[in-house]
Amino acid sequence: MSDSTRCPTTDNGALFACQGRLPRLPVPDLDGTLAKYARSLEPLLLPDELAHSKSLIEEFKMSAQGRELQQRLETRAADPSCANWLEDWWNNLSYMGYRDPVIPYVSYHYSFSDDPSCSTAVERAAKLIEGAIVFRQEIVDGTLEPDMTRTTPLCSHSFNFMFNACRIPSIPSDHCQTSTYNGNETIVVVRGGQFFVFSFLRNGSRLSADEITATLEQIVQVADKNTAVPIGILTADNRDSWTKNRKVLLGLPGNKDLLDAIEASAFLVVLEKERPVTREEFSHAVWHGSGRNRWFDKPCQFVVCDNARAGFCGEHSMMDGTPTLRLVEFAIAHASKLPTPSAARAKRDPEFRALHFQTSPAIVSAVKQAEELFATAVSKQNLRVLCFDAFGKEQIKQLGCSPDAFIQLVIQLAYTRLHGHARPTYESSMTRKFLHGRTETCRSVTCDSVAWCASMADQNTDNAARIKLFRDALATHSLLVKEAVNGQGVDRHLLGLRMLVKQGEKVPGIFEDPVYSYSSHWYLSTSQVSSENFTSYGWSEVTPKGYGIAYNICKNCLIIHIICMRNEYGLDSDRLARSFETAAKDVHDMISGSPHKQ
């Protein structure tokens, strides 16, 4: 799934010191998974539908084929050459083999809080660049410690794909290309659809923030006087189309070296001409902008707007949110300690190179088609960022609740009130305690959550009974999350069994049951990344019939990024945001016994 000129398995240093003793992702017990799967269907189906699906589950449980598939999966997991039985399947099915554009359907963004010390975009960018360079150097020299949950180290494998890496389009499946750290101490800057590259290491010493500022100032001056065919928009195209057009680009004189410069660079810095004001404008600007001023295949793009507002756009295929969260938190913290940079204090003159792509009529036509596809897709995104400031993490904990479980139940109540019923809901749960682990699904809709939501609409249910139902639902959700992070969820295990049905073998009825597809069709796709340094973070819905809900649990507020498509299914992010706000206050009042004071 990756091509590399450096070998991740031989990387050393503190970051990778624990890799050899991390446990492998387990294969859950078959009977246990099937029982959990059956329970997850109970709140979603009518009695006749449930009875039919349970009969197929029982049939699979008792079948020789079920036992054979389980044995095949256990054999795969025990293979010493297989670091993680899920890894290749998951990376291909969810990311590399996915053919729709990465924007808006794969990439995510973080929108940063403002830095009052910076009045210009180049000042803000220079400080963030220095922070990212220092973080990268700690990976290169082996001093960065691994992520931990209390005393448990987490897998560091995904850090191999953070810097000097790029997703490369290919048919039928893309791959990730990594380049050597040494000799590629470069950053690519994009402005006005034009690409520039500079080295942050000169004669063995790193550029200072002042010198980076001087470099960026001159890049802006050059870019704002010129125009170019916005080649970057091709990375926002359908992956098969981009594969074909990349080959056309490579066939034109000089372009191979330019593509190599972008793909091998440490990371990308985007200097946007936009000046976003509202939270929604800011999210759109960081996430995708006009599409012409990006290289969406790079895993790390720092985005800085002309009003010095900044953020991060991440390509999701080889890294989930926790590694990049650590990167940007480090960069922001480092930047906060720096004085405002000044080009006047630069000790060395700027040195950079413009990357002038050769184009052809076919490329110009491809760019126009990609622009149209991008504009259509982005125009359908109905985005709302809710900053709920009535209370936050501290107050939720004072109510005796897990903040994450609290938010998940509020989401269920808000959705149920707005749409009249519960729908299959995905919460991402991290499995990085295992070697090459990424995520597992927590199926958030439970009989307990549905019973509690119903009680909130039932005037005959007293408050004590509602609180009891709520706390039962909290406990159930927390148990499901615990099982998921320990590799004991439902969805990845069932996927593994299904993938091992050989060509020509009968597909088990459990997988042909429409309910199997329906129950993993995520009408609500949810995930938490929390930082006091963000004004929002988010990504798109995963189905035209559903919402994407990214939430940031801050100390004294909740930031909820809600998105859906504008289409025939009648979803509305604004209305769901208002429903969430009301539901959150109602839950607070239910537990505290008195209305929350504004």
Q: CA-to-CA distance for 146 and 322, rounded, in angstroms?
A: 12
Strand spans (E) along 96-200: 108-112, 148-149, 152-153, 165-168, 175-178, 186-191, 194-199
List beta partners, residue 187.
Answer: 198, 267
Q: Under DSSP, is residue 439 helix (H, G, I), strand (E, B) or coil? A: strand
Q: Which letter, b or e, does each residue of 523-559 get, where b requires 16 or more Cβ atoms within 10 Å of its Cβ?
A: bbbbbbbbbebbbbbbbbbbbebbbbbbbbbbeebbb
**Alpha-carbon distances of 253 from 357, 358, 522, rounded to whole Å:** 9, 7, 46
- Report which DSSP code applies to 10: G
Residue with tokens 């597809």: 517
Among candidate residues 175, 380, 373, 188, the one with its CA nearest the CA of residue 291: 373
CA distance 487 to 375: 39
Among the listed residues 507, 437, 497, 515, the one whose alpha carbon sits nearest the alpha carbon of residue 28 = 497
Q: HSE of 46 in the Cβ direction (CA atoms, 13 Å)?
A: 2
Q: Tell me the chain's radius of gyration from C-alpha atoms.
A: 25
Do 311 and 552 form a contact (C-beta atoms < 8 A)?
no
Write the DSSP symbol of residue 290.
T
Tokens of 39: 């329970």
Q: Which of 316, 334, 493, 561 is catalytic?
A: 316
Annotated catalytic residue 316: yes
Count CA atoms closer than 13 A to 268's CA, side-chain side.
Answer: 30
CA dihedral 328, 330, 335, 337 (to 10 degrees): 160
Tokens of 394: 């501290």
Name the nearest CA neighbour of 131 among 212, 14, 219, 218: 212
DSSP string, 74-113: HHHHH-TT-S-TTHHHHHIIIIIT--S-HHHHT-EEEEEP
| Bond into 323 cis (ω within 30) | no
DSSP3 helix / strand / coil % (the chain, rounded to 5): 45, 15, 35
- Scored b (16 or more CB within 10 A) or e, 64-95 reads eebeebbebbeebbeeeebbbbbbebbbbebb
Q: In whole angstroms, how far apart are CA 29 and each of 430, 501, 510, 567?
A: 20, 18, 17, 41
Decide: 520 and 93 in contact? Cβ < 8 Å. no
What are the catalytic residues? 316
